[in-house]
Chain A
Amino acid sequence: MKVAKLPGLHRWLTVPSTVSGILGALLAIAYAFFTVQIPEGTLVQLLLCIAVWVALANVLGDRQEQGSLRTVRALATSSVERSVPVLQAAVREAAALPDLSFQVNLGYWCAGAGLIGLSYWLVPGVPWTIALRFAVIGVGLGPLVAMLAYLLEIERARAAVVVLAKEGLSVAQVLQALPPTRMSLRARMVVYGAIAIGTPLFLVFDMAVQRAERTFAALAVATSQAQRSSVLAADLRQALIGFAVVGGAVAVVVVTCSLLSGRALGEPMRELAAQAQRLTLGKIGQKTVVPAEDEVWAAGAGFLALEGQLAVVVTQLQAAGGQVKLATSELVASSARHEHGAQEQTLALAQTSATTEELARSAKQIAANANQVSALALQTVEASQEGQHSSEAFYRSILAVRGGNQAIADSVVKLNKRVQQVGRVVEFIDGIADKADLLALNAELEGHKAGEVGQGFSLVAAEMRRLAESVMESTREIGRLIEDIRDATNAAVMATEAGVKASDQGSALAQAVSEGLGNILKLSRTTSEAVRAISLATHQQQVGTDQLAQAMGDILASTRAGSAAQAEMQGANASLKGLADELERAVGQFEVVS
């Protein structure tokens, strides 16, 4: 068959309808020639009627079919843009054409046959029975012609779908344009069977009836046995020729229809089988449209969907296989590392367990020490209390000492003042003595000047002078004593002032010591409470550490068990890696063409 192309596609699609109409007309004429006795002088009119109505039916039918291919025609003449919706509409038009052609051919054949009979009846000298015979023959051959047209159209319609799909439609878009919803294969086969069987039966029956009537009529007018024999021989010969010609033609048409119907069914099935074979070879994704109708189209659509899904699954499976291989490889490596780590963990846990036991012993020792510290803290509190009491007593004593020192200082100051007064008195006495000495000295001098007369006077003056010198000596001694007393009192004043200052410092220091001891007492109480809390916590820690040591022993045991299980798991992972390699090889046999 000539390969379809988009330019002129609409004309190429409707050619079989015209061809089948012409073939049907020729078949009808041949059949009528052998079965209908055409009145004398009406053959030309008959042929004219047939030619006119056949031509008219073809023209009208072709116009109707072309009218149903508007989008295809527009695409073929490039009068519309090749968009997806336009192409989908064209696909729908091309796919619907065979059914439309069947209906158009059947309708126009029946109507044309009736109009031929009617117009032929209008020819003078043509009985209505003869005209009716032509109408009946036309109606009887109509289904066969329609089926022939359908079967011829269906291949071209499929080819047109492929051509239109190549213009820019994906498989999914073709399926979207032609959803596999119509499931009428069984009804269609029933119709095919009825036409393929009914039409020959009708024609043979009609021919037999017509030949029988013609033979009986000839025999009725035959007068002799020889004439009857001659009539029978002539009818037999004509019947044989008629049956041979008509039967052969009908057989050719029926066989052709059968071949075409078988091809219409078998071709897409073969294509689907080829694609299935391609799938079995692992080539997935080369999705091509397999044009068909009804259940076969649904099967093809399902196959395409299955292939698409299979491509997705195989792609995912390939990716998953690669990932599974990679994961299993990593799993094997990780398992090996994990096993090594488990061994190290076991060693570490053993060391940790030993350390924990040591920690438990240390916790016991710490608890004992904490108890001792708690007792010492209590003693510290008591000692701090005693120290604070002593400090307060010391502070009071310091205050008393300060008061005593202050009193001493005041007394010493008073004494110093008295001593100073005494000193002034002594100085006064000393001055008197000095003057007395001087007077005595002058008196003695005058006594000596007086000679014998003043000798006694001089003696008295000398005595007075010695007395005055004694007084002066005494006053000097008193002055020295006063100086000593003054120095002593000054020293005492300074000492008492220093004592007061020292008492002040001592009292301040005692107060600070008392406050410090108070703080120490507070801190000691806080420390005691803290130590008590520490002791309690240490006791709890000791209990917890014992439990920890026991738990570490359990963990060590379970870790050793886990290490053994890890070794088994590593073997299982190695087996899993082998399976992953096999899976990758199996999936790698599929080639997904994107």
Chain B
Amino acid sequence: MSAVTVTGVLLCRVGAEQLAFDANQVGHIGAWEPGGQPTAHARSLFLMPSAAGKQLTSEAESLVVDSLEVHAEPLPRLPVPLALASVTGGALLGFVQVAGVLWPLYGLAALARHVRQHLEVELS
């Protein structure tokens, strides 16, 4: 089976954790401050309190991360083991390797939805 290539990845950092999104799934990047519009925050996944960061917005969902950078080079997407396919509600799409470091690649809308649905208490 041939590997799927991803061109344009947003490498995001949440605390010491790291996430990756397909740049084509992000419609707009904005700033988010505590006390602003309620939205899903990636820090909730790691049981960390919310903090100021960048708000990634897709068509219907948005997710806040601490910081991010754009990786323009095409990267091969590594497949997701079956044991992990449903861990985050099916949001995990695979892995990309950048400079020897393996980044989990998520679908922005699915992850944002997962955070909003399963961590509603924390969001409210």
Genuine A/B complex: yes
Closest to B71 in A: A448
Flag whether B116 is at the interface (Cβ < 8 A).
no
Interface size class of B (residues with CB under 8 A): 10 to 19
Flag whether B68 is at the interface (Cβ < 8 A).
yes
From residue 423 to 477 of chain A, which have CB atoms closer than 8 A to chain B? 434-435, 438, 441-442, 444-445, 448-449, 455, 458, 462
A442: which B residues are within 8 A, CB to CB?
28-29
A343–B52 alpha-carbon span in the complex (Å): 115
Flag whether B10 is at the interface (Cβ < 8 A).
yes
Taken residue by residue from 47 to 85, chain B's Cβ proximity to chain A (1 for < 8 Å, 0 otherwise) reads as 000000010000000000000101010000000000000
Contact B29 A438, beta carbon cutoff 8 Å: yes
Flag whether B45 is at the interface (Cβ < 8 A).
no
Q: A438-B29, A438-B30, A438-B31 are in contact. Are A445 and B70 (CB under 8 A)?
A: yes
Majority-rule SS of B interface residues:
strand
Flag whether B20 is at the interface (Cβ < 8 A).
no
Contact A449 B72, beta carbon cutoff 8 Å: no
* B26 in complex: contacting residue of A438, A445, A455, CB < 8 Å: A445
Closest to B8 in A: A448
A441–B68 alpha-carbon span in the complex (Å): 9
Contact B70 A458, beta carbon cutoff 8 Å: yes
A64 to chain B, nearest CB (A): 170
B10 to chain A, nearest CB (A): 7
B7: which A residues are within 8 A, CB to CB?
448
B24: which A residues are within 8 A, CB to CB?
449
B19 to chain A, nearest CB (A): 16
A441–B71 alpha-carbon span in the complex (Å): 11
Majority-rule SS of A interface residues:
helix
B8: which A residues are within 8 A, CB to CB?
445, 448-449
Contact B70 A441, beta carbon cutoff 8 Å: yes
Contact B54 A438, beta carbon cutoff 8 Å: yes
B54: which A residues are within 8 A, CB to CB?
438, 441
A445–B22 alpha-carbon span in the complex (Å): 10
Additional A-B contacts beyond A435-B31, A444-B72, A449-B24 (19; CB < 8 A): A434-B31, A438-B30, A438-B31, A441-B29, A441-B54, A442-B28, A442-B29, A444-B70, A445-B23, A445-B26, A445-B29, A445-B70, A448-B7, A448-B8, A448-B23, A448-B70, A449-B8, A449-B23, A462-B70
Q: A438-B29, A438-B30 are in contact. Are A458 and B10 (CB under 8 A)?
A: no
Give A residues with C-beta under 8 Å from B. Answer: 434-435, 438, 441-442, 444-445, 448-449, 455, 458, 462
Q: A438-B54, A462-B70 are in contact. Are A445 and B10 (CB under 8 A)?
A: yes
Taken residue by residue from 5 to 26, chain B's Cβ proximity to chain A (1 for < 8 Å, 0 otherwise) reads as 0011010000000000001101
Closest to B9 in A: A448
A448: which B residues are within 8 A, CB to CB?
7-8, 23, 70, 72
A435: which B residues are within 8 A, CB to CB?
31
A449–B28 alpha-carbon span in the complex (Å): 11
- Sample (6) of A-B pairs whose CB atoms are under 8 Å apart: A435-B31, A438-B31, A445-B26, A448-B8, A458-B70, A458-B72
A83–B93 alpha-carbon span in the complex (Å): 172
B58 to chain A, nearest CB (A): 12
A484–B57 alpha-carbon span in the complex (Å): 38
B70 to chain A, nearest CB (A): 5
A338–B68 alpha-carbon span in the complex (Å): 127
A438–B30 alpha-carbon span in the complex (Å): 7
A93 to chain B, nearest CB (A): 159
A441–B27 alpha-carbon span in the complex (Å): 12
B31: which A residues are within 8 A, CB to CB?
434-435, 438
A394 to chain B, nearest CB (A): 56
B70: which A residues are within 8 A, CB to CB?
441, 444-445, 448, 458, 462
A449–B7 alpha-carbon span in the complex (Å): 9
